[in-house]
Structure 1
Amino acid sequence: MTSIIINKASFEDLETIQNLGIQTFSETFGESNSEEAMKKYLEESFNIEKIKAELNNPHSFFFIAWEENDAVGYLKLNSGKAQTELHDETSLEIERIYVKKSHHGKKVGQLLYEQALETAQQQNKAYLWLGVWEENLRAVNFYRKNGFVEFDKHIFRLGDEEQTDLMMKKILE
């Protein structure tokens, strides 16, 4: 395997982020949800205007994992008011670590997580937090392995279905 490079995303990466988001979300959650619910979520969450606004938000940060010229995963971080919940100035939210299924088990997620950790430390954040679907055991175990602990739960809506996300955080030294 060639080495993975993590680069901060810019506005020129808009379509790459959109395509990665659609592909990785579909690969991860498509089998567990109805086609109709997935279609609606993907259209709402990964449309060009929404991604444009997120890229323009000074409190959100995107990083793309590249294997040569192939984008294989991405990371989205939120601070301050860009956070989906909490809005704690001392925290940084990991909203997404998405990796193509072809690259699961190849440490891409770990590299993206390490980028999140480095960004939090550069910004002098006290902790990282995230929400992860309780049935996504691969992700839950990944975060536990990296020192995250559950502190709450919240509801994530996908179509008409309510799913429970575990809210997890890691205190930074």
Structure 2
Amino acid sequence: MIIRKGTIQDIEKLKEIGTLTFTETFSLDNSQENMNAYLEDAFSTENLKVELNDQNAEFYFVELDQKTIGYLKVNIGTSQTEKKLKNALEIERIYVLQEFHGKKVGQILYEKALELAKMKDVETVWLGVWEQNLKAIRFYTKNGFVPFDKHIFKLGYDEQTDLLMKLELNTLTSF
């Protein structure tokens, strides 16, 4: 398995893995109409160009046998989706193809995010997770995250509640 930083040349790969992993994760619990509306916007070429060219956002792909099996997106500074914490890094997305769930790919991407946080010398890592995504909430809780707030995430026309969770890096002895 290798992890590599994404570039603008990866736009089609990002569109493909992003759409597929989001669909696998959320399609059973949401209407097709809302899924389509969200995917058309979030993974449009125009939107992905902006995200890939953003100096405060970074994408990382995890590849196995030359196949992309998951990805990570982190944000710092003004690119964070919420401005509630100072000197923080946001994990906006960790998504892994369903066939690779349970194989530590998400943990590897999470550890990459912590490595980036250390390199950027931030104090806090935070994220938003859908309150109904109990598997993800357990994953982040197991890794030391605690809830600190909530926000609304629009999935198409549906307003959903995300738990905002954070990890204070000064509480970690090493990572």
TM-score computed with the length of structure 1 as normaliser: 0.96
Contact 1:54–1:60 under 8 Å retained in 2:
yes
- 1:100 aligned to 2:97? yes
Contact 1:73–1:98 under 8 Å retained in 2:
yes
Alignment counterpart, residue 162 of structure 2, candidates 154, 157, 165: 165
Aligned partners of 1:103, 1:21: CA distance in 2, in Å? 15
- 1:90 aligned to 2:90? no
Alignment counterpart, residue 117 of structure 1, candidates 114, 118, 123: 114
**Matched length:** 170
Corresponding residue for 2:130? Answer: 133
Alignment counterpart, residue 145 of structure 2, candidates 148, 151, 166: 148
TM-score computed with the length of structure 2 as normaliser: 0.94
Corresponding residue for 2:21? Answer: 24
Please, what is the CA RMSD of the aligned residues?
Answer: 1.0
Deviation at 1:71, TM superposition (A): 0.2
Report the residue type matching 2:152 in the other structure.
I
Corresponding residue for 1:44? Answer: 41
Report the residue type matching 2:147 in the other structure.
E
Contact 1:80–1:87 under 8 Å retained in 2:
no
Q: Runs of 5+ in structure 2 lacking a partner?
A: 171-175
| Cα deviation digits, residues 125-164 of structure 1 (max 9, x gap) | 0010000001111110010011100001111111222211
Aligned partners of 1:104, 1:67: CA distance in 2, in Å? 14
Contact 1:92–1:120 under 8 Å retained in 2:
yes
Residue 108 of structure 2 aligns to a residue whose secondary structure is: helix
Report the residue type matching 1:21 in the other structure.
G
Aligned partners of 1:61, 1:87: CA distance in 2, in Å? 20
**Structure 1: 4+ residue segments shifted above 4 A:** none
Identity over aligned residues, as a percent?
Answer: 52
Structure 1 stretch displaced more, 85-94 or 147-156: 85-94
Report the residue type matching 2:143 in the other structure.
N
Contact 1:41–1:159 under 8 Å retained in 2:
yes
Q: Runs of 5+ in structure 1 lacking a partner?
A: none
Report the residue type matching 1:8 in the other structure.
K
Corresponding residue for 2:58? Answer: 61
